[in-house]
Chain A
Amino acid sequence: MTGKIETQAGPLGVPADGETPRFQIGDRVTISVRYPVGHYRVPHYIRGKKAVVEAVIKPRALNNEDEGFGRNAGQKRHYYRVAIPLTDLWPGYAGSATDGLRIEVFENWLERTQ
C-alpha cells in the first residue's frame, strides 16, 4: 500500500496495517480513477464518483481483485458499503432525486474527498 502508514496505539497494543478501518460511517469518499488490466471489481460507472460511507463491512477480507489471480492470502482490509445518488451517476436521471445506489468498495479504491 502506498501512502503514510498511520499507527494508532489503542489501549492494548498497536494494530497491524489494515486492521483499523481507514474510513468510518458518514465519511465522504471518492472512488479512485484507475484502469486495471485483466480483472477488477469496481465498475466503470462509479469511478471518480463521490460517495458517503454507509457501513464498514466486518470482518476485513482479502482484495478480491488479487483473488482473481489465485492469491488466497495476503493483507486483509475492509470493504465499505457506500451510497451514491443516481442523479450523480446518470445525467438526466428520470426517477426520484432521492434514488440511490449502494455498492461495496474495497479500501484501496477509496480516497477521502477533498
Chain B
Amino acid sequence: MTPSAEFVKKLPNDIGGASADRIDCRDHELQPWEKRCHALADVLDYHKILNTEEKRRGVAELGTELIGKLSYYERWVTVFANILFQKQILTPEELAIRMGNVAARHSREAAELAL
C-alpha cells in the first residue's frame, strides 16, 4: 500500500463524484485579456503548436495547489508558457524580458494618458 500513489494515480481534475459545495451561479464577464487568451488557445490549436489536449494535460500538471489558486485563464496562460518552453519555442529568459517590456510600456502609456 503506497499512500503517495493516490496523488499520481488520480489527476487533480478527475473530480466526478467528489463531494462538493452548493453551486455558485454567479458569472463574470470575461476581461479582454481573458478573451484574447481563449483566442490564442484556439489559434495555437489550429497551428498544432499547442493542441487542446496538451493544454488540458498541462493544466492538470500544474497540480492541486496552483489549480486552486489561479483563475481559469491564469492557468491557461501559465500552461502556454510551460509548454512553449518544453517545445523550445520560447525560452524563459526571452519571455521574462518581453514581459518586463510590456509592463513598462503600459506604465508609460498610463502616465502619458494622465498628463
Contacts and interface: CB of A to CB of B under 8 A. Distances in A.
A–B contact at 8 Å CB threshold (below)? yes
Q: How large is the interface on B (under 10, 10 to 19, 20 to 34, 35 or more residues)?
A: 10 to 19
B57 A68 contact: yes
Contacts, number: 37
Interface in A87-110: 89-90
B14 A44 contact: yes
B11 interface: yes
A69 B54 contact: yes
Interface string B49-69: 001011011001100000000
B3 interface: no
Contacts of A75: none
Lowest 5 CB-CB distances: which A-B pairs, in order? A68-B57, A67-B53, A39-B57, A45-B17, A68-B53
B30 interface: no
B16 interface: yes
Given A35-B9, A44-B10, A70-B51, 14 more contacts: A37-B8, A38-B57, A39-B11, A44-B16, A44-B17, A45-B16, A45-B17, A64-B53, A65-B53, A67-B51, A68-B56, A69-B54, A69-B57, A89-B17
B57 A90 contact: no
Nearest to B56: A68
Contacts of B48: 72
B54 A70 contact: yes
Contact of A39 (B16, B17, B60, B87): B60
